[in-house]
Amino acid sequence: MLIQLAHDLPDYFYDVFVTRFDFWLVFGILAQLIFGSRFILQWIASERAGKSVMPLSFWFLSIAGGLMTLVYGFVRKEPVIIIGQGLSTGIYVRNLALIFRERARRSGGAA
C-alpha cells in the first residue's frame, strides 16, 4: 500500500499543480499567502513586545486573505471554503468594529 502511494503521489501533485494550473490557482495560492502572513506578523509583533499581542494589521490581513479565499471558493464552487471563509471574514470584520469602537470610547473619554 505504501509503495503504491509512493508511486501515485507524484502523479497526484502533477495533476493538482501542473495540469490544473490557471489564473485561479495562482489567485488562491496568493490568497493563502496573504492569509498565512498574518501569523508571521503577529509572531514578530509579539516577539518585539515581549508578550502575546494582536496588531491591528493582523485583522486587515485576515480580511484581505479571507475575502480572496472566499472569492476563490466561489469560483471553484467549494462549499467548505465558502462556509468557512464567509463566517470567518464576518468575525474578522466584527473584531475590527470592536477595536475601533473601543478606541473611539477611549479618545472620547480622555478629552
Judge whether 22 and 46 are in contact, CB under 8 Å: no
Q: What is the pLDDT of residues 10-45, one digit of tens each?
A: 999 899 889 989 999 999 999 999 999 999 999 999
Q: What is the pLDDT of residues 41-100, one digit of tens each?
A: 999 999 999 999 999 999 999 999 999 999 999 999 999 999 999 999 999 999 999 999
pLDDT at 22: 93
pLDDT at 109: 61
Residue showing cell 496568493: 30
| DSSP-assigned letters across all residues of 83-105 | HHHHHHHHHHHHHHHHHHHHHHH
Helix, strand, coil: what percent of the chain each, to 5?
90, 0, 10
